[in-house]
Amino acid sequence: MYRQEYPRPSFIRETWLNLNGEWNFQFDDTKIGLVDKWQSTDKTYSKVINVPFVFQSELSGINENKFHDIVWYKRKFEVPQDWKGKRVILHFGAVDYKCKLFINEKLVGEHEGGHVSFSFDITDYLVWGQEDVTLYVEDPSEDETIPRGKQYWIEKPGNIWYKRTTGIWQSVWLEPISPTNIQYVRFTPDIDAGSVNVEFETSKIEEGLKASLEISFQGNVVSKDVIDILELYTSRSIDIFNKKIFRTCNHHLGWCWSPETPNLFDVKIILFNGENTLDEIETYFGMRKIHTEDGIVYLNNRPYYQKLVLDQGYWPEGLMTAPKDEDFVIDIKLAKEMGFNGCRKHQKVEDPRFLYWADKLGFLVWGEMANSAEYSPMYVDRITREWMEVIRRDYNHPCIVAWVPLNESWGIPKVARDKMQQSHSLAMYYLTHSLDKSRLVISNDGWELTKTDICAVHNYNHGTQDEKEKYEYFIESLKDRESILTSQPAGRKVYANGFSNAGEPIMLTEFGGIAYDTSNPEGWGYTVAKTEEEFVSDYERIVDAVYASDVIYGFCYTQLSDVEQEVNGILTYDRKPKCSLDKIKSINDKWRKNIIK
C-alpha cells in the first residue's frame, strides 16, 4: 500500500513518475554512515520501509518508536528514455528534519525543514540506466529548538505530545520539465475590483517566448490572453467578472469561494516559443476575501461566524501521513456534517492534498506553523526560513483564511515580558503580512498576543457538569469584552505586556476537549464524560456558553478526533463518531445560520 495520487494538485503537469513504495532503509545510531559512505551503490541496507510512511508508523512496515536520529533511504529507479533533453526534477513532499540527497553516489544537495516541499534537479547526475538514489536524514529527537509541533522530545508519548516523525512523510516523485519552464504561479483575488492578479516566474527568458493564460469557470472560458515574456517575473491583472455582472448588487458573490459555495476557477498556462510548447501546467484559484471590520470577521464582505474544529492531522496507522487520499475527504466531510465550517490545523503544516480537498469541498483552514519548545537565535533562523517556504507553497489555496505562525508562546516562553521574544512575535506577524496581504495573521494564538488581526483566546476552564461554580465563572469570563481581555484562563494574560486589543475581533480558538472513551478510562482530556448522553450534554453546555457571549465572533472546538493517549475528540482515532453527529450539528446550528445579522 502506498500513496499514488498526484502530490501537488495546485500545480499539475501531465507527465510524472511516482517513487512511493518500498525503499531500502537503515538506522545509523553510531553516526558512521557519512564517514563510511553509505551512499555507495554497493552498500546494502538491512530493512525495507514503505514510503511515504515514517519508521515510527505501522504502515511503514517497521513500527519502531525508539530514538533513531539518523536514518538512510535507498532505492533504484529508471528514468524513461523519452525524458532525455528535459531537466529531471526529484520532488519531496516533506522530509523531517534535515537531509542530503545522493544520486549515483554523488551529493546533489541538502534541505532543512521538516514540514515543507522541496526539489532537486538531478539531470546532471543521471546515467540513463539503473539510477541509485540515497537519502540521508538527520532528525535530532531531543533538540527543543527545532520546529516540531506535537512531536515529543521524550521517547514515550504523553499528555498532549505524540510520537515523532522522522524522515520521508509525504510523497516522492520525478518530473521532466523543459529547461525553459514555469517555476511558480501566484494568484491574488480582488473581489471588490472583480479581478485576479496573476504572477508567475519562468526559469529563463528567450527571444519569442510567450505564455497563453486561459481561465475557465464551470467549463466556460472567462478570460484568455497571450503574454509576451520579457522578464523572469511576469504580472497581470485580469478582470474576472468581465463587466458581465452588476457588481453594485453583489451578484458577483455567486462566483466567490466560501464553505457554502466552493467555486473555483480553472487555469491553464502554456509556455511556448513559436510552435514549440515548452511547459504546460493546470491549476486553479478562488475569488475569496477575508477581512475584519468593527470587531467582526467578514468573508466576501459579509459578516461570517467561523465554527472551527481543532484538527491535529494524525492517523493511527500513518501518524502525520494520511493512509489514503480519501482520508482527507472523510475528515472534511465529517466535520461539515457536524456543522463546522472549517478547521485550525494544529501544530502541523498539512499535506497539499488536504488543502486541495478543502478548496474543492468548501472548508476554511487556519494554516499553522509547527512550533518549537525553546527560544534561541538558531530557533529564530529555523522557523523564519521554513515559515516563508510554507507561505510560498500554500499561498494559492482559497481555503486558507488565516496564518498562525505561533501558538501558546511555544518557542517564546518569556514573550509576556521579554522584549526580544516580543520582537520575534512582531517580526513573524509583519513578515507574514509582507508576504501575504490577503489573509489574517494571528501573532500568538491562545494568549500573550502582540500585534494581531484576531484576538485568539484559549479557555478550558468550563469544568464538569457538577462543577457549577466553575462553569458560572467560565460564562462570566466570556460575557463581555472587558471580562475576556482581563481574564487569565491559563494563568497567562491575553496580551503581552505593552500590548492591548485595538478593536480586532475576539474568537475562542481552543476550548472543550471533553474526554469520552469507555474503553480507555485513563485517556487524557480536559474534563471527562462517562456516557454518550453526558458527552453530548457537556458539548451543548459549553457551546451554549460561547453562543451566549455578544463579543465572541467565532470559535475552534478541541478537537476533531482522538490522538494516541488523547481521547477528547468528537470522533475516535480511527474516525468513528462517539455520538450522533446530527446532535452535534443541531448544537452548532444554534448560531443563526453561520451569519451575523
Domain ranges of the chain: 17-177, 182-285, 290-588
Query: Cβ distance 79 to 174 under 8 Å?
Result: yes
Model pLDDT, residue 593: 41
Name the pTM for this structure.
0.96
Buried b (16+ CB within 10 A) or exposed e, 482-516: eebbebebbebbbbbeebebeebbbbbbbbbbbbb
Judged by DSSP in three states, 11 sits in coil
d(CA 135, CA 130): 17
User: CA 511 to CA 478: how far, in whole Å?
Assistant: 12
Q: Could you tell me which CATH class the domain 290-588 is placed in?
A: alpha beta
- Cα separation, 228 vs 211, whole angstroms: 7
Distances (CA, A) of 445 to 49, 145, 258, 437, 556: 37, 19, 24, 19, 11
Per-residue pLDDT of the chain (597 residues; tens, 9 = 90+): 678 999 999 999 999 999 999 999 999 999 999 999 999 999 999 999 999 999 999 999 999 999 999 999 999 999 999 999 999 999 999 999 999 999 999 999 999 999 999 999 999 999 999 999 999 999 999 999 999 999 999 988 888 899 999 999 999 999 999 999 999 999 999 999 999 999 999 999 999 999 999 999 999 999 999 999 999 999 999 998 865 544 443 455 678 999 999 999 999 999 999 999 999 999 999 999 999 999 999 999 999 999 999 999 999 999 999 999 999 999 999 999 999 999 999 999 999 999 999 999 999 999 999 999 999 999 999 999 999 999 999 999 999 999 999 999 999 999 999 999 999 999 999 999 999 999 999 999 999 999 999 999 999 999 888 888 888 888 888 988 999 999 998 899 999 999 999 999 999 999 999 999 878 877 888 999 999 999 999 999 999 999 999 899 999 999 999 999 999 999 999 999 999 999 999 999 997 643 443
Question: What pLDDT score was predicted for residue 246?
Answer: 41
What letter does residue 262 receive in the DSSP assignment?
B
The C-alpha cell at 134 is: 540515497
Query: How many CA atoms does the CB half-sphere of 374 hold within 13 Å?
Result: 9
The cell numbers describing 511, all together, are 476550548
Task: Check: CB of residue 518 under 8 Å from CB of residue 506.
Answer: no
Greatest distance between any 2 Cα atoms in the chain = 77
| Amino acid at the residue 113 | G
- 52 preceded by cis ω (within 30°)? yes
CB 351 within 8 A of CB 93: yes
**Other Cβ atoms closer than 10 A to 555:** 25
50 Cβ partners below 8 Å, 6+ apart? 1, 2, 21, 22, 59, 60, 61
Strand partners, 262: 257
d(CA 426, CA 446): 15
- Cβ–Cβ < 8 Å for 269, 170: no
Q: Which residues pair with 265 in a beta bridge?
A: 217, 285
Pull the grid cell for residue 272: 511556448
Q: Which residue has the cell 468513528?
A: 576
64: Cβ contacts below 8 Å, ≥ 6 apart: 55, 56
Give, in order, the Cα–Cα distances in Å from 204 to each of 111, 116, 175, 181, 280: 24, 25, 18, 7, 15
Residue 142: what residue type?
Answer: E
Does the 17-177 domain belong in CATH 2.60.120.260? yes
**Which CATH class name applies to 182-285?**
mainly beta
Cα-to-chain-centroid distance, residue 397: 10
Nearest C-alpha neighbor of 416 from the set 468, 325, 363, 491: 491
Q: Among residues 299, 313, 346, which one has the least CA distance to residue 554?
A: 299
Q: Which residues of 311-320 are buried (b: 16+ CB within 10 A; e: fewer)?
A: bbbbbbbbbb
- What is residue 544's predicted lDDT score, i.e. its pLDDT? 94
CB proximity list for 198: less than 8 A, separation 6 or greater: 185, 186, 187, 213, 235, 236, 237, 238, 267
- The rounded distance, in Å, linking the Cα atoms of 532 and 530 is 7
Please give the grid coordinates belonging to residue 523: 485517556
- Classify the C-alpha dihedral 169-147-89-282 as positive or negative: positive
Tell me how far apart the alpha carbons of residues 399 and 361 are, in angstroms, rounded to a whole number: 9
Burial of 263 by CB count in 10 Å (0-12 exposed, 13-18 middle, 19+ buried)?
Answer: middle
Mapping DSSP to helix (H, G, I), strand (E, B) and coil, where does residue 392 land? helix
| Alpha helices in 438-504, H assignment, sequence order | 468-477, 481-486
Q: Is 502 helix (H, G, I), strand (E, B) or coil?
A: coil
Secondary structure (DSSP) of 124-188: GG--SSEEEEEEEEE--TT-TTS--TTB-SSSS-BTTBB----EE-S-EEEEEE-SS-EEEEEEE
Do the two domains 17-177 and 290-588 of this chain adopt the same fold? no
Rounded to the nearest 10 degrees, the angle between the axes of helix 377-394 and helix 419-435 is 20
Three cell numbers written together for 182: 514555469
Contacts of 522 (CB under 8 A, 6+ apart): none
